[in-house]
Structure 1
Amino acid sequence: MIRSPLFLRLFSAILITLGLFSAAAYVLSVPFIEEKAYEIERDASRTILDNVFELVGRIRGGLEEQRAGTVESYKTRLRDVLDLAVGYIEHVQARADRGEIGAEEARREAMEGLRAFRYGNGDYVWAIGYDSVILSHPSPDYQGRKADDLRDNLGRHILPTIVATARRQGEGFQTYPWWRPNGDERAPKLSFFKDLPRLGLIVGTGAYLADVDAEVERRKAEAIEDLRQALRKLRIARTGYLYIFDSANRMIIHPNANIEGTAFGDRPNPATGRSIAEDLKVAAAKGEPLTYLWDKPDDPGNYAYEKISWVRHFEGFDWYIASSVYVEELRRSSVVLGNRILAIGMALMAAGSLLGYIAVGRLVGPLRRLADTAVQVRAGDLDAQSGIRRGDEIGLLASAFDGMVRQLRDTVATLDSRVRDRTAALAEAETRQRVILDAIPACIAGLDRDGRLTFANLRWGELVGRDKADVIGRDLAAVVGRRAMAVLRPQIDRCLAGEAATFEYTFPRGGRSLVTKTTLIPHRGEGRGEDGVVTGLFVLTLDITDEKQTERQLVEAQRLKAVGQLSGGLAHDFNNLLSIIIGNLSAARERYAGVEGLDAYLEPAQRAGRRGADITARLLAFSRQQPLKPQPIELCGLLRDMAVLLRRSFPSSIAIGVPEEGRECWTIADQTQLENALVNLAINARDAMPDGGRLEVSVAVRKVEEGLSFDGPAFDEPVRPDDYLEIRVTDTGTGFTPEALARAVEPFFTTKALGSGLGLSMVYGFVKQSCGYLRIDSGPGGRHGRGTAVTLLLPRAEPVARLPEDDPVAAEPQGGGSGGWSGQLALVAEDNDDVRQVMRQQLVDLGFSVVEAASGDEAAELVEQIDGLSLLVSDIVMPGLSGVELARRARLLRPAMRVVLVSGFAVEYGDVPADAVILRKPWDKRDLVAAIGHAAEPAPA
């Protein structure tokens, strides 16, 4: 190693620099770093505490949102239930308006119907007069009571306040305390009510808010348990932790499960002598940490170790959330860090001295040669080389310098060729990118800050009805128009402010509306002082028209399904009432036939009862709860037979067209209900053509495949791929208005002066129960107007061989007359006392001896105990065993027993025995005789 003066000067300078730098670094940095490390460790506990505080806040916010959502759900359900009750009252009042019943009878019938109505968790509908008298209430304690003395917790009158609000606003919500069904206590109740000024009464319904609060409290307990498990696993430093206590100094969450639930307010702070809990609360109010003395797990009872806690008060739950960590642990890391820095500094100083000694020695010799070569290159001699071959930095520098000189010669020669190749590659990439953008099934465009289009793909041009090349460089407002720009401008301004925006917009296209979903993404510039600045935006637009249409169809189908379920339940209850009314009227007419003038009163009442039975049957059809017997039907022949009957009852001004002779089309449906549906549609068409016109019924086979669409309005729900028979009933009548078309299949909705409003709803229920689909295409018209077309899709069937017609089965018992059953023993199983009484009396009149049971279980015991039972008449829906299960068990014990099952709606309680007969509610005596006659008596084994 050459000991030149340059070497000595450089090496001495390196040693002095390293020593001064190490000393200064230690003095200036190590104390500062130790203090900062301690502050970081201390603030880390505060950060963890803040995170837990925010988590608790989100838990509180989620519970409040859930409670608000649950209350809104309850309000929606109350509205729906009350709308159904008001519809029932208006239906009864309409009967009074038509003269079918008197005004007082209508009011009584409406109030009795409301008292019998139940839904949900025992909830009900009530009615009060303007004088605060309770007109309808399920509890006898309130029925007919003038309850204006009932007050809420603030002393306000409950019912007069409801009356005043309803008469002023028409309807409204009110929360007040009301007695629970058990009558022991009052609880907050939310009620929705409406004013019926024509009848002079207020109708309402409600639900207890305690059900909402119970759900919220349960979720709160679950959230607290999840938080407890999370905090027990969380550690600050080595042994620090978080805990939560309330304002009553009761520990809510603590890593030590034995402390949870205990009060620690009497535990003193050794540093101040005051309660540690109160010191923590003061620290929370000041927003400062609390330092106090505590013991250690390995030194219990010795309160000499300093701890620090951050505390925050969460007012939503009245909680205090606190962290706890030993100060010694926080400082330990800073001390360790300072010692490591000192050791690293000493090692670096020693290594630097050694490396400096070697580096200076190797640096001095070759520097001169490299400097001489650099002078030659600067003079323009690109062939000059240093010739230095070393494995260190100087060798690399020399090799790089020599290589740089050689590469410089090559670069000058090939630079132009490379530039040309690069330009061609960029052009090819741009072409490929343009093809990809045009092929993407989305509309994509770009805008600058001034609203000019910088690029657009093929589909975006098609969206605005222009060629994409024509829109580049143009202002967006000039391309889409002022109307669209008024909607787009606020969204564009948001995006230019740096916020991505997503919204929906409807474009008019070819006579239809095109629904789009657009996302605007800000584009931030780079370079030339534009880093982070929004210089433009990207536009991504998708066509969601089909998705929106499907969503509307599903919502409508769900709404009609809910109305159908309510209608079916109401019809079932009315079937029981009508069974009692019709049965007792029939018995009265038979027993008091000799009373002069009595029949003039009883016959209209019977006729009204049968009219009510027809209405409940239509309600069951709409709710898809009518009993069906689907079978293959040749529809074209059926339509030709129906046309003969229709032409006799239709005016001559209406022409009727049906499929021509010789054509056959088969479907699977209940023939009786299908005929009823077609007759309803024909009658509606006749009423819509008072001046004459044409009724056309056409039939076609439709094969629906995935993605197949139909012209005109969509069906009531998306059609599943399958083979269908399409039945299209068209007329040239007045048609529907848009408002009437939207409610066409709702029960009790009608545009006729006289009518129940159940015709189309019955058709709809039959089609849905038959696994079919329906749509109505209509518009206002006249003699030459558009008219109405109702299209039904029913499952298609393969042709079957026609069977010879059997002779009708005699409905009378063997031997003729009801006397053929004299002395036989019958068992009647029915949970409704009045219905059971009607059935018993009719069977006694037919000659039977009768035993009764109020449930399926009781009836099963009687079947086992009584010999000689020849007939079982049982309701299907009963407490305990259902009628179907009872019939199956009875047949096992008494194989020769006849079985008649009574039902008000479709049988959905298991397989009915093949030889059982279904008697529909309501019935008259002739129906009962026919059912007993058709009940097959199996041959003995």
Structure 2
Amino acid sequence: MFRSRLFLRLFSAILLTLGLFSSAVYLLSVPLIEETAYEIERDASRTILDNVFELVSKIRGGLEEQRAITVESYKTRLRDMVSAAAGSIDHVHARADRGEITREEANRLVAEGLQALRYGSDGYIWATDYNSVILSHPSPDYQGHDKSDLRDNTGRYILPTIIATARREGEGFLTYPWWRPNGDERAPKLSYFRDLPQRGVVVGTGAYLADVDAEVERRKAEAIEDLRQALRNLRIARTGYLYIFDSANRMIIHPNANIENTAFGTLVNPVTGKPIGEELKIAAAKGEPLTYLWDKPDDPGNYAYEKISWVRHFQGFDWYIASSVYVEELRRSSVALGNRILAIAVALMLTGGLLGYVAVRRLVAPLRRLADAAAQVRAGDLNAESGIRRDDEIGLLATAFDGMVGRVRDNIATLDSRVRDRTAALEDANTRLRAAMASQDTARRALAESEGRQRVILDAIPASIAGLDRDERLTFANRRWAELVGRTKAEVIGQALMSIVGRRAHEALAPHLDRCRAGEVVTFEYSLPRGGKTLITKTTLIPHPGADGAVSGLFVLTLDVTDEKQTERQLIEAQRLKAVGQLSGGLAHDFNNLLSIIIGNLSAARERYAGVEGLDAYLEPAQRAGRRGADITGRLLAFSRQQPLKPEPIELCGLLRDMAVLLRRSFPSSIDIHVPGDGPDFWTIADQTQLENALVNLAINARDAMPDGGRLDIAIARRGVTDGLVFDEPVRPDDYLEIRVRDSGVGFTAEALARAVEPFFTTKTQGSGLGLSMVYGFVKQSRGYFQIDSQPGQGAADRGTTVTLLLPRAEPVARLPDLPTPTPLPDALDSGWRGKLALVAEDNDDVRQVMRQQLVELGFSVVEAASGDEAAELIEQIDGLSLLVSDIVMPGLSGIELARRARRLRPALRVVLVSGFSVESGEPPPDAVILRKPWDKRDLVAAIGHASEPARTQAQADAQADARGGGNEA
């Protein structure tokens, strides 16, 4: 075996490798490991120091947070004290407002109360008027004196600044220097103050910031004590420790309690002869450790032991945090580790040599037998075998070698037959390849035709479609997308998206593109300037996943939604105006009840006390104001579409010509008025009075918009609407009459145009602002549509305002014969009705009281009911009722349902229905009379008179039915 060259080479190589490896491990790793272990130990001390530094930083941060919390707590207490003082002031002045005490007594009680209101050790309340005269202060030096000249350290006037801030903001805080009670020095003080505008004073109180600082210092001392206990229990290595000193070399924290609070600036470094404290500060500034010689507790006075210290400066407290540990302790573990590694290396070398000998010997013996068999095969003996039977890699190699030799024998015998078979198979494969190439050409042509059809379809789709790869280069775009960016398809394919849409547009699209590349389907809207207008688009980005599942491209689908957005905005505006109308209608209903009470009582007072000299001069303006209020509620009802209307056929051209005569008489000669001349008639169904009022309102608005003169055109045209027309809301398809009122005035601003039809909004210096809102409400209640177009400016041909009304068109109808004019009614009913019994049904007690009083004055005996259900029971139980006066809107049965039930039970009963709305609960009985709120006594007399003429009322009902029939026919 020892004569085998392979054995000698392998075994020698193993021994040499083990020797070199062991030497290299020792020489390269042991010094490095020792140095690394030392650095780890040294850096561990620095890490502990850094942790303590972070702990001190958190303590400082906690103190700052605590200071903020303490200041906020003081602010809350100051607010509470000022709120209590303000409540006390309001309470005392409320007594004066009620007449319980005089105003002078109230001022005296307020001053005494504020001076008595003290809290804490030196907290008090002060008050000053707007002229800096102190109204309340515990010091007589300030009480009642003008202190507007007091200034702070910057020269700013204290009281004028407080008063200006309070009157502007309502309340506030201010820090300024102020004298402590019984002290000569001024200290910073935080004051809170509040304006009491109804009293004309500013009230405040304050707290000295020194109190806040004292609280923070107490918490700082507690935190330092906790830190001291923690550092005393902390050790680095075996005897190392941490300590803290300040910039004056005074020891703050040290494991030796005897050293704390002492100066150590005289201690000298034996190596340099310089004070240790100053060298530690220099090391902290450089961020490097300090090494010096020191003694040991078991060898005092012998300054021969090397120590190392890390130092960091904490500026928040002006502290220096330092570690201290002997270098010998840091190196002890590294030396022990190096010795252990050396012993392990020697043991490994010996063990490796022995194992190498065994392994090489076991490896070389079978290889020699395998080499002998290979030599026989090389000589031509294909029956040679190695004879090796093992279960390891060598055995596998020997088995493979024997098998290979056997297969070589078999392969030589069958090689010719296999070559022939392979040749036939190759010819068959060539035939199939030619067929596949022909099929591929057919599929390529079909694919090209399919792509052509897809391009035609995509170009015809009413949407902009494009494709992007992951680098935002366009891989596809249909004709509409190319037109959207102002290019052709050939110009955009293959280009970067930024170069097509521009940098600004790309910056706006970038967040959406990033979300889509992350796998999200993104939909957003974007506005593009096109032809002087803004094009609003809705774009959807769809990610396209690749074979690996990652997003490899983006699919872009863009739709033009400009018209939809415009329709949506107009619909929202219509809904807003409808909501405002509902609110206005509710207010008008409640206000009508109040006006009914006011007007009724004023009328009664004016009749009862007519002989009182001078009283009529007060009552008549009040009645006039009440009637003005009734007119305003009528306009509100018009806007809310709840005014009672009497629709009838109207020929508009004749109505406008009649109106033009009146307008020309009242308008200045500098305004030209043009109305339709002779021509075809235009008929509609509407309330003629309300239509005239609406057109007059529009004409007056036009006159006011042309103070220097101009032109007013009122035109009528027939307009058929199919789809897509939008006024204040989308117009339903039908035939309409279009009324255009155009002036050459100053026009509306954009802000005024947006609010033009809101109740009480006006651009005039006078007026209620209900003109356009009434016109709008009347048009909507008449099932019409409203639109304002305006260009600010005056004089130019394209400037001014155009108001367009769309009203339903009607076919021409024959005019109805005039009904007989009723005879004038007296202020009181005929004496034949005196003593008759009347039933008043009204849920509002005050309104019911007014109605009862007026009926009693007219000679009726009155029975009252607070609801429709109660009134129905009284009608069933009481005989001899001659008159029913009922509100339409009541709890339980409505007035209309009550009137129908009363007419069934008592056909001869006269009915008067009262309401400020149009009929709310259906059509009333044909001979019932509607009395609108608010009313006066003459309106009530007229209503009862009409209710007493059933024959004439029936004739009016028949005429109205004929008119409605004609309108429906149209």
d(CA) in 2 for partners of 1:760 and 1:615?
A: 13
Does the 8 Å contact 1:726/1:791 carry over to 2? yes
Query: Is residue 808 of structure 1 aligned with residue 821 of structure 2?
Result: yes
What is the match of residue 581 of structure 2?
Answer: 564
Give the TM-score, by structure 1 length. Answer: 0.56
Q: Please state whether the residue corresponding to 1:532 is helix, strand or coil.
A: coil
Does the 8 Å contact 1:506/1:515 carry over to 2? yes
Structure number with bigger Rg: 2
d(CA) in 2 for partners of 1:620 and 1:761?
A: 10
Per-residue deviation, 1:596: 2.4
What is the match of residue 841 of structure 2?
Answer: 829
Query: Is residue 623 of structure 1 aligned with residue 636 of structure 2?
Result: no
Does the 8 Å contact 1:778/1:786 carry over to 2? yes
Q: Please state whether the residue corresponding to 2:457 is helix, strand or coil.
A: helix
Q: Please state whether the residue corresponding to 1:796 is helix, strand or coil.
A: strand
Q: After the TM superposition, which residues 203-602 of structure 1 pair with which residues of structure 2 at under 5 Å, given as runs? A: 374-378=418-422, 380=423, 382=424, 407-408=428-429, 410-411=431-432, 414=435, 417-526=438-547, 531-602=548-619
Does the 8 Å contact 1:902/1:921 carry over to 2? yes
Query: Is residue 796 of structure 1 aligned with residue 809 of structure 2?
Result: yes
d(CA) in 1 for partners of 2:88 and 2:507?
A: 51
What is the match of residue 355 of structure 1?
Answer: none
d(CA) in 1 for partners of 2:842 and 2:824?
A: 24
d(CA) in 1 for partners of 2:933 and 2:414?
A: 115
Per-residue deviation, 1:874: 1.1
Which residue of 934, 940, 951 corresponds with 1:928? Answer: 940
d(CA) in 2 for partners of 1:741 and 1:514?
A: 23
1:828/1:683 CA distance change after superposition, 3 Å: same
Does the 8 Å contact 1:810/1:933 carry over to 2? no
Q: Please state whether the residue corresponding to 2:810 is helix, strand or coil.
A: coil
What is the match of residue 646 of structure 1?
Answer: 663
d(CA) in 1 for partners of 2:89 and 2:755?
A: 36
d(CA) in 2 for partners of 1:196 and 1:616?
A: 37
1:666/1:411 CA distance change after superposition, 3 Å: same
Per-residue deviation, 1:525: 3.6
Does the 8 Å contact 1:636/1:699 carry over to 2? yes
d(CA) in 2 for partners of 1:618 and 1:775?
A: 19
d(CA) in 1 for partners of 2:774 and 2:785?
A: 13
What is the letter of the counterpart of residue 901 of structure 1?
A: L
User: What runs of 5+ residues in structure 1 fail to find an aligned partner?
Assistant: 1-127, 141-145, 150-164, 172-194, 202-366, 383-403
Q: Write out per-residue CA displacement over residues 750-774 of structure 1, whole angstroms, 9 at most, x where no aligned residue.
A: 1111111111111121222222211
d(CA) in 2 for partners of 1:644 and 1:448?
A: 73
What is the letter of the counterpart of residue 445 of structure 2?
A: A
Q: Write out per-residue CA displacement over residues 44-71 of structure 1, whole angstroms, 9 at most, x where no aligned residue.
A: xxxxxxxxxxxxxxxxxxxxxxxxxxxx
Query: Is residue 862 of structure 1 aligned with residue 867 of structure 2?
Result: no
Does the 8 Å contact 2:829/2:941 carry over to 1? no
Q: After the TM superposition, which residues 771-920 of structure 1 pair with which residues of structure 2 at under 5 Å, given as runs? A: 771-784=783-796, 786-812=799-825, 818-819=830-831, 821-920=833-932
d(CA) in 1 for partners of 2:643 and 2:167?
A: 41
1:135/1:742 CA distance change after superposition, 3 Å: farther
What is the letter of the counterpart of residue 432 of structure 1?
A: R
Does the 8 Å contact 1:826/1:871 carry over to 2? yes
Per-residue deviation, 1:129: 10
What is the letter of the counterpart of residue 623 of structure 2?
A: Q
d(CA) in 2 for partners of 1:502 and 1:616?
A: 48
Q: Write out per-residue CA displacement over residues 145-168 of structure 1, whole angstroms, 9 at most, x where no aligned residue.
A: x9x99xxxxxxxxxxxxxxx9988
Q: After the TM superposition, which residues 682-693 of structure 1 pair with which residues of structure 2 at under 5 Å, given as runs? A: 682-693=699-710
Over the matched positions of the two proteins, sequence identity in percent amounts to: 75
d(CA) in 2 for partners of 1:478 and 1:693?
A: 53
Q: Write out per-residue CA displacement over residues 184-226 of structure 1, whole angstroms, 9 at most, x where no aligned residue.
A: xxxxxxxxxxx9989999xxxxxxxxxxxxxxxxxxxxxxxxx
Report which stretch shifted further, 909-918 or 622-631: 622-631
d(CA) in 1 for partners of 2:511 and 2:828?
A: 86
Q: Please state whether the residue corresponding to 1:641 is helix, strand or coil.
A: helix
d(CA) in 2 for partners of 1:909 and 1:932?
A: 22
What is the match of residue 753 of structure 2?
Answer: 741
What is the letter of the counterpart of residue 891 of structure 1?
A: R
1:199/1:368 CA distance change after superposition, 3 Å: farther
d(CA) in 2 for partners of 1:889 and 1:170?
A: 61
d(CA) in 2 for partners of 1:656 and 1:170?
A: 54
d(CA) in 1 for partners of 2:859 and 2:898?
A: 24
Which residue of 598, 612, 626 corresponds with 2:629? Answer: 612
Does the 8 Å contact 2:889/2:920 carry over to 1? no
Q: Please state whether the residue corresponding to 1:455 is helix, strand or coil.
A: strand
Q: Write out per-residue CA displacement over residues 287-320 of structure 1, whole angstroms, 9 at most, x where no aligned residue.
A: xxxxxxxxxxxxxxxxxxxxxxxxxxxxxxxxxx
What is the match of residue 715 of structure 2?
Answer: 698
What is the match of residue 49 of structure 1?
Answer: none
Does the 8 Å contact 2:828/2:858 carry over to 1? no
d(CA) in 2 for partners of 1:199 and 1:554?
A: 48
Per-residue deviation, 1:663: 2.4
d(CA) in 2 for partners of 1:369 and 1:892?
A: 126
What is the letter of the counterpart of residue 433 of structure 1?
A: Q
1:458/1:763 CA distance change after superposition, 3 Å: same
Report which stretch shifted further, 884-893 or 928-937: 928-937
d(CA) in 2 for partners of 1:691 and 1:537?
A: 62
What is the match of residue 161 of structure 2?
Answer: none
Give the TM-score, by structure 2 length. Answer: 0.55
Q: Write out per-residue CA displacement over residues 647-693 of structure 1, whole angstroms, 9 at most, x where no aligned residue.
A: 11111111112222232111122222222211111111111111111
Per-residue deviation, 1:610: 0.6
d(CA) in 2 for partners of 1:440 and 1:904?
A: 57
Does the 8 Å contact 2:539/2:559 carry over to 1? yes
d(CA) in 2 for partners of 1:134 and 1:726?
A: 65
d(CA) in 2 for partners of 1:609 and 1:416?
A: 100
Does the 8 Å contact 1:692/1:783 carry over to 2? no
What is the match of residue 313 of structure 2?
Answer: none
1:780/1:412 CA distance change after superposition, 3 Å: closer
Q: Please state whether the residue corresponding to 1:536 is helix, strand or coil.
A: strand
Does the 8 Å contact 1:521/1:537 carry over to 2? yes
Per-residue deviation, 1:414: 4.7
Does the 8 Å contact 1:811/1:929 carry over to 2? no
| Count of matched residue pairs | 570
What is the match of residue 960 of structure 2?
Answer: none
d(CA) in 1 for partners of 2:501 and 2:920?
A: 58
Per-residue deviation, 1:481: 2.2
Q: Write out per-residue CA displacement over residues 115-165 of structure 1, whole angstroms, 9 at most, x where no aligned residue.
A: xxxxxxxxxxxxx999667999xxx9xxxxx9x99xxxxxxxxxxxxxxx9
Q: Please state whether the residue corresponding to 1:908 is helix, strand or coil.
A: coil
Q: Please state whether the residue corresponding to 2:924 is helix, strand or coil.
A: coil
Per-residue deviation, 1:789: 0.9
What is the match of residue 767 of structure 2?
Answer: 755
What is the letter of the counterpart of residue 715 of structure 1?
A: F
d(CA) in 2 for partners of 1:685 and 1:198?
A: 43
Q: Write out per-residue CA displacement over residues 783-833 of structure 1, whole angstroms, 9 at most, x where no aligned residue.
A: 3361111111122212211122223223527x9965464343322222222
Report which stretch shifted further, 406-415 or 927-936: 406-415
Report which stretch shifted further, 505-514 or 544-553: 544-553
1:425/1:893 CA distance change after superposition, 3 Å: closer
1:447/1:922 CA distance change after superposition, 3 Å: same
d(CA) in 1 for partners of 2:88 and 2:669?
A: 54
Q: Write out per-residue CA displacement over residues 699-742 of structure 1, whole angstroms, 9 at most, x where no aligned residue.
A: 12222113x33xxxx41111112222211111111111101111
CA RMSD of aligned residues (A): 3.6
